[in-house]
Amino acid sequence: MSESAEAIQVADLHKKFGPLEVLKGVSLTARQGDVIAIIGGSGSGKSTFLRCINMLELPSAGTITIHGERIDMKKDGHGGLMPANRKQVQRIRSQLAMVFQNFNLWQHMTVIQNVVEAPIHVLGVPKDQAMARAETILKRVGLYEKRDVYPGFMSGGQQQRAAIARALAVEPLAMLFDEPTSALDPELVGEVLAVIGDLAKEKRTMILVTHEMKFARNVASHVVYLRQGIVEEQGPPEQLFGNPQSEHLKRFISSVH
C-alpha cells in the first residue's frame, strides 16, 4: 500500500447486536488514494464495518480516525459507545460519501436535484455553483441527458450512477461503497463498475464492499477478507487471489468464481 497520508484508520473495532458479536476486533488503514476491497461471505460483518466507519452504526468498542481526527466516543451506559460530540460526527460524515446497495435517491427529486441537495443545504455552496458542478459530474457518469428525469423512470444502473454522482458532489475525502452492484440486473453491473473504476484511476480514496471478485482483483490496491467478524487475510489483490493462505479464503474464492 502507498505511503501517503492516512485517510481512514480503524483500530480494534467491535460491534454487538445484543448478544451477537458481528465484528470482533477489525483494524484497517486506508491511505489517500487507496482502493480497499472488502470481501467475504454473507454475515461476515462487511456492511456493518462500513456503516460503523461513518457512524450509521455505533461501534461497541474500538477507535475510528478520519484524516488524522479521531472520533470522540463515550460509553452509552449499555455496554456500547456513542458519539461524544454530535457536531464532530456530522462534520466528519459530510466528508465521507456513502453509496448504498439500493441507491437511496430521493424519488420526488430529479437527478440533478438529488445531486445538488447536500452541497446547497448541508455545505452551503451557492446554488449556481452547485448546479454547474452537478452538470459536470453528471457528464462524467454519463447521465447529463437524464438530469431532469426522476429516479423512478431510470434503470437500476442509471440510478446507481446518479447515487455515485450525488456522493461525488460533496467532494468527499473518501468514498464508501456498500455492495454497489448487488441490487442490479447482471447486464447493468458493468456500467456502474466502469464509473467506480474511473474514480480509482483518479486516485480517489475508496473502501468498497463487493462480491465482484474480478473487479476487486483488477481495481483494488488492497483486499481485506472478513470471516465471522475478523480479518482472516489481507494484502495486495494479486497475493490474495493468486496465492491465498487461508483455507477458508481458498474455498470462498472458488465458490464465487
pLDDT digits 0-9 by tens, 29-53 = 999 999 999 999 999 999 999 999 9
Residue 76 CB contacts under 8 Å (≥ 6 apart), including other chains = 58, 82
Angle at the Cα of 44 (from 217 to 176), degrees rounded to 5?
A: 55
Question: How far apart are the C-alpha atoms of 134 and 123, rounded to whole Å?
Answer: 14
Grid cell for residue 153: 423512470
What does pLDDT average to over the chain? 94
pLDDT at position 189 over 80: yes
Give the pLDDT confidence score for residue 1 in this predicted structure: 44
Question: How far apart are the C-alpha atoms of 241 and 112, rounded to whole Å?
Answer: 39
Could you tell me which of 183, 146, 148, 180 has the C-alpha nearest to residue 163?
180
- Summarize pLDDT for 52-65 with one digit per residue, the tens: 999 999 999 999 99
